[in-house]
Amino acid sequence: MKRLITAAVISLGIALSSAASAADGPALFKARCAPCHGPDGKGTAMGPAFVDNKSVAEGKDEEIADVIRNGVDTPQKKYKNIPVTMPKQKLTDEEMTAVIAHLRSLAGKK
């Protein structure tokens, strides 16, 4: 019986630590993206909006991840009215998945 309780406690601890270590898309967005794209994703003078953004809603995960990983240099800029280039971001695969899911939620895709 004692072994069963110990095994249950260990299993619960593993489950909780896995959930706790899961990447938090909204928190990553707030820390990495919000300074330029706005805390609500509605854009600023430094970065375009993600809210109702067709490119984010319909784009492939790999394309969005490529922009996040590699940034956007001036010659490639889609939004010419925004004077700031987007810096490269280093994210783990888990963090990238979480950020993309959050961006898609802002863009209106569930």
Tell whether 3 is covered by a domain: no
Distance CA 48, CA 99 (A): 16
Phi-psi region of 23 (alpha: psi -120 to 50; beta: other; left: phi over 0): beta
pTM for the full predicted model: 0.73
Q: Quick check: is 2 in a domain?
A: no
Residue 10 counted as domain residue = no
Q: What is the pLDDT of residue 49?
A: 93
CA distance 37 to 107: 13
Task: Establish if 30 belongs to a structural domain.
Answer: yes
**pLDDT tens, residue by residue, 67-100:** 999 998 765 566 667 777 889 999 999 999 999 9
Is 1 part of any domain?
A: no
pLDDT mean over 32-42: 95
The model's confidence at residue 46, banded by pLDDT at 50, 70 and 90, is confident
The residue range of the domain holding 99 is 25-107
Give the Cβ contact number of residue 10 at 10 Å: 10
Counting the structural domains of the chain, the total is: 1
CA–CA separation, 80 vs 78, rounded Å?
Answer: 6
Domain containing residue 94: CATH number: 1.10.760.10
Name the more confident of 5 and 6: 5
